[in-house]
Amino acid sequence: MNGNVTVVGGGIAGLVAAITVAEAGVGVDLYEAHGSLGGRGRATPAPYVAHEGPHVFYADLPHWDWLVERGLVGRLGRPPVRDLKFGFVRDGRLRALPPAGLVRMTLPGRPAAAPVDMTFHAWASGRYGEEAARAAARAISAVTYDADTGRLSAAFVWELFRRVFAPSVPAVRWVVGGWQAVLGRMEARARGLGVRAHLGERVTKLPSGRPVVVATGPASARRLLGDSSLGWESGHCVLLDLAVRSGRRDRFIAFDLDGGGFHESYSMQDATVAPRGESLFQLDMPVREGEPLASARGRVEALADLTVPEWRSRTTWSRTATAKGRTGALDLPGLTWRDRPAVERGDGVFLAGDMVAAPGMRGEIAMLSGAAAGRGAVRALRGRAGRRRAG
C-alpha cells in the first residue's frame, strides 16, 4: 500500500471518496474485492443494460452538482411524449389517474415537513385520511423497497414523497447509459488523477498509520471495524428485469397502490439499453413480513401482466433478483439520517455507503457520504503531518 489514503470498496461511495482524496493531491490506494469497480451501480452487459441498483438521478441535492462540475453526467435522455403513459394500480386494475386523496397531498399548501417522531401512516391519516395515507405509502415504496412504508418516520417518508411526487421544480434526470455510464466516467477520472485501483483484492484487516475510508456494505464494515452496531433499517424486495418486443400498450411508469410495487421503463428514455424494436423494464415488489419469496415474485409478475400486457409471449430477455438489506437507509420514527452510523469513526477511519449519516436516498447517500469521508481522510492525513512536524 503505497498511497497516503486507503479506500476499501470500489462502489459508488468508494469511487467518490477516492476522487475527492485524489483531487486534493493525495495518493490513493483503492481496493475492490470484485474484478470490476462500480458495486451496485453496475449493469448487465449490452445489448440489455439493466442496472443492479438505481438508474435515475435527482438534481436537487449536492451530489448532482458534484457530478456536473466534473463533467461526469454525460448526455441526458428524455422519453418521447407518445410514450409517457403512467398508471396506478388500484383494486387489481390499472388506472390512468391516482386516487383523489393522493392528488391532494401534492397540491400547494401541503406542509413543508412532517414530524420525526410519528409514523408516516399516523401523521398522514390524520391530515389526509386512511385511504390517502396507505396510497401514498405504497406509492413511495418505489423508493423505500419496503412493504410497510407507513411504519417509517413521517419526516423521512414525507420528504421522499415531496421529492418524487411534488417537487418545487422537476428534479428527475435520466442519464443515457444510467449509473453504469456515470461510473465508467468516474473510474476514468479516478485513474486519471492517479488513483491506484487494486481489483480482486479483498481487505481483511485495516492498514495502520494512514487514514482509511471503509466504503463497503454494512456486513463487511462490521467485520473490518469490529463493530457489531454498524447497521441500519433497509428494504427487502424482488426485482424483475424484462425485455420485450415493444408494444403500444406498454406503460412508461406505474405505481402499484395495492402492493407497493413499481414499474418503469429503462429504454423509452434511453434507446441505447435495448436492441431496436425492443423495450426494457424493471419491476420491483417489496416483500411483506413473513411472505415467501415465491409469493412476492407472483405479485411482481401480476404487476407485469397489467403494465406490459402479454409480456410472456413477447419476452426476449429477463432476469430476477432479490435485494435484502442493501436498498438504502430507512429511518424509523424518532430517527433521522443524523442518527445513522457516523462517517467519522475516529483514529483516521471513515465510513461511507448508502446506510450512513448522510441525506438523500440510496446512491445519493453513498455519494454524499463518500465525499464527506474523502474530505475527512485528507484532513486526518494533514493533521498527522502537522503533528509530526510540530514534534
The DSSP-derived string for 88-105 is EEETTEEESS--HHHHHT
Q: Furthest-apart CA pair in the chain: how many Å?
A: 74
Query: For residue 35, what are the contacts with CB-CB under 8 A and spacing of at least 6?
Result: 199, 200
Query: For residue 280, what are the contacts with CB-CB under 8 A and spacing of at least 6?
Result: 48, 49, 50, 241, 242, 243, 265, 266, 267, 273, 274
**CB 242, CB 308: distance < 8 Å:** yes
User: pLDDT tens for residues 9-37?
Assistant: 999 999 999 999 999 999 999 999 999 99
Q: Which fold has domain 77-173+236-324?
A: Polyamine Oxidase; Chain A, domain 2 (3.90.660)
pLDDT value at residue 50: 93
pLDDT value at residue 109: 87
Q: Rounded CA gap, 233 and 325, in Å?
A: 7
Determine the 3-state secondary structure of 232 from DSSP. Answer: coil
Query: Residue 54: pLDDT above 70?
Result: no
User: How many C-beta atoms surround the C-beta of residue 105 within 10 A?
Assistant: 22
Determine the 3-state secondary structure of 323 from DSSP. Answer: strand
Strands 349-351 and 344-346, sheet pairing: antiparallel
pLDDT value at residue 391: 63
What value does the mean pLDDT take over residues 170-190? 93
% residues pLDDT > 90 (the chain): 88
The label of the residue with cell 449493469 reads: 43
**Cα dihedral 277→255→50→250 (10° resolution):** -10
Q: pLDDT band at 2, cuts 50/70/90?
A: low
Query: Residue 196: pLDDT above 60?
Result: yes
Q: Where are the domains of the chain?
A: 5-75+176-232+334-390, 77-173+236-324
pTM: 0.94
Helix (H) or strand (E) holding 181: helix 178-192
Tell me if the domain spanning 5-75+176-232+334-390 has CATH number 3.40.50.880: no
Q: Rounded CA gap, 51 and 76, in Å?
A: 17
pLDDT value at residue 169: 83
pLDDT value at residue 3: 62
User: pLDDT tens for residues 71-97?
Assistant: 999 999 999 988 899 999 999 999 999
Residue 14, all three cell numbers:
468508494
User: pLDDT tens for residues 109-142?
Assistant: 889 999 999 999 999 999 999 999 999 999 999 9
Query: Residue 1: pLDDT above 60?
Result: no
Helix (H) or strand (E) holding 213: strand 212-214
pLDDT value at residue 342: 97
Query: Residue 331: pLDDT above 60?
Result: yes
**CB 162, CB 101: distance < 8 Å:** no
User: pLDDT tens for residues 264-304?
Assistant: 999 999 999 999 999 999 999 999 999 999 999 999 999 99
Beta bridge partners of residue 317, listed in sequence order: 243
DSSP 79: -
User: pLDDT tens for residues 301-330?
Assistant: 999 999 999 999 999 999 999 999 888 999
Mean pLDDT of the chain: 94
**Nearest in space to 273 (alpha carbons), one of 43, 38, 37:** 43
Single-letter code of the amino acid located at 195: V
Q: Rounded CA gap, 36 and 68, in Å?
A: 24
